[in-house]
Amino acid sequence: MSAGGPITVAESRAFVETFELEPTGAGPLDGLRFAVKDLIDIAGHETGCGNPSWRDTHPAATVNAVCVEQLLGAGGRCVGKTVTDELGLSLIGENHFYGTPLNPKAPDRVPGGSSSGSASAVACGLADFALGTDTGGSVRVPASNCGIWGLRPSHGLISVAGANSFAPTFDTVGILARSADVLARAASVLLAYEGLLGEAPRRVHLIREAFAIADPEVQKALEAPLQHFRGLFGERVCETSLMEISGEPEEMGLQAWYESYNVLQWAEIESSIGAWIAATKPTLGPTVAKSLALVKNLDRRQVTRAVQRRETYCRRLRTFLGPTDLLCLPTVPALPPLTDSKIHRVRLGSAYYPRALSLTSVAGLGRLPQVSLPLAEHAGVPVGVSLLAAYGRDAFLLGVAQRVAASMEG
């Protein structure tokens, strides 16, 4: 890094390309710069999805994705396209072809993925906010790793038209931002809501199993924000077991959510890109090749049962949460892995992946909005904490997040 000065685009390694798209209107994003994950269309550009074979076998976009159009129309200025993990299929942030965007708060650790470049661009100060996509954690994990704010919206509320879809019942367009205020401004445009609701949560449920599977340093780092929540929300903060929500016996726990998520995600990925893989035989990085082998070999007879479990979880979450209860989880149960740490060992040989997906699958299966708040750290390494609200309660959730942010400053 340039000694003491701002981080440059080259140093960030966050961008596939930089350019300037002028706003097409004025609004709440006046004066804000945003970057766009290279899984989302910009008119006249190829959308690479982090894989050169994908880029070379798909035509350039004729128009901006609907979400990009919304941001430009509300005053935002687009500054470029950012690196993504290959085909969006990783939570790590190391791309075999495009490299590893810088995590400026922990330069020896990965930024997280798959919205790696979007998180890096914001954390490096090269954009005020950025668009990512989040299927299994791809906004939330890099937000946590890079120490910034991240939103996965309720499923289906923000248009994914022009964003490549790999698992449509989980795919969302999300936002990474330098502050709660910028996050809320960008979200208010994409979700088309006005002003803040200002409602207080009825309960903030700390999910016992989710904190229990976190590494000791993550647990310890999160003590301060949880204490802060208790100060802010008083007796509304409570400990809740997942079994009170799922109605399943305790031993099933997060493992059952993880397994249901995996079956459905893999089934949808094969439906979305299996034919392209079979027909074009793309060049794949080693990690993605292994992931896609798992996808390919899924016994699809598991789908019927997995959908049943997912919809049961959804209905129970809806009843349990009502309009103003929140869930609270660690965003990620471990610190970001060190860079170049043999991804496939991290991914398949350790508990990192299943544990991370166990936590992110709650919002994924439940179609719930989730905000990752950058409120903690361990020896300087960022650790995020997450709040989740009921389906469709994104504006309420963002209002709570802003209230938390304001109280931290006060």
Residue ranges in contact with a second copy by CB under 8 A? 24-25, 27, 41, 58-66, 69-70, 73-74, 155-157, 159-162, 165, 167-169, 189-193, 264, 267-268, 270-272, 274-279, 300-301, 303-305, 307-308, 310-312, 315, 318, 367, 391-392
Contacts of residue 277, defined as CB under 8 A and 6 or more positions apart, other chains included, come to 292
Q: Which is nearer to a second copy, 94 or 268 (CB)?
A: 268
Distance (Å, rounded) from C-alpha 374 to C-alpha 255? 26
Q: Are 212 and 242 in contact (CB under 8 A)?
A: no
Cα separation of the two ends of the chain: 32
Do 64 and 41 form a contact (C-beta atoms < 8 A)? Answer: yes
Closest CB to a second copy among residues 384, 392: 392
As measured in angstroms, the least distance from the Cβ of 125 to a second copy is: 27
In angstroms, give the least distance from the CB of 68 to a second copy.
10
- Contact criterion met (CB below 8 Å) for 144 and 122: no
- DSSP string for residues in 286-333: HHHHHHHHHHHT--GGGHHHHHHHHHHHHHHHHHHHTTTEEEEEESSS
Nearest distance from residue 280's CB to a second copy, in Å? 8
> 329 forms bridges with which residues in the sheet?
386
Q: CA angle at residue 159 from 155 to 45, to 5 degrees? A: 130
In this structure, the dihedral spanned by the alpha carbons of residues 137, 10, 55 and 299, taken in order and rounded to 10 degrees, is -30
Considering the complex, what minimum distance in angstroms separates the CB of residue 130 from a second copy? 19
CB nearer a second copy, residue 168 or residue 286 = 168
Instruction: Show Cβ contacts of residue 388 under 8 Å, excluding neighbours closer than 6 positions.
Output: 326, 327, 328, 329, 362, 363, 366, 368, 369, 370, 397
Closer residue to a second copy, CB minimum distance, 112 or 162: 162
CB of 214 to a second copy, least distance (A): 30
**CB 269 → a second copy: shortest distance, Å?**
8
What is the sign, positive or negative, of the torsion defined by CA atoms of 333, 338, 340, 341? negative
Left, alpha or beta for 40 (phi > 0: left; psi -120 to 50: alpha)? beta
Is 102 or 273 the residue whose CB approaches a second copy more closely?
273
37 catalytic per annotation:
yes
Q: Could you say which DSSP state residue 280 is in?
A: H
Selecting among 138, 144, 165, 188, the annotated active-site residue is 138
Q: In terms of Cα–Cα distance, which of 119, 142, 181, 150 is closest to 370?
A: 150
Q: What angle do CA 211, 217, 223 make, to 5 degrees?
A: 60
Active site residue 120: no
Q: Tokens 């989710």 appear where?
A: 210
Catalytic residue among 12, 53, 90, 114: 114
- Nearer to a second copy by Cβ, of 365 and 375: the residue is 365
Beta carbon of residue 259, minimum distance to a second copy (angstroms, whole number): 16
Pick between residue 169 and residue 219 the one whose CB is nearest to a second copy: 169
Count of helices and strands (H, E) across the chain: 16, 11
**How far is 110 from 88, CA to CA, in rounded Å?**
15
Minimum CB–partner distance for residue 241 and a second copy (Å): 24
Identify whether 350 is preceded by a cis peptide bond (ω within 30 of 0).
no
Catalytic residue status for 116: no
Q: Which is nearer to a second copy, 267 or 359 (CB)?
A: 267
Known catalytic residues are: 37, 114, 138
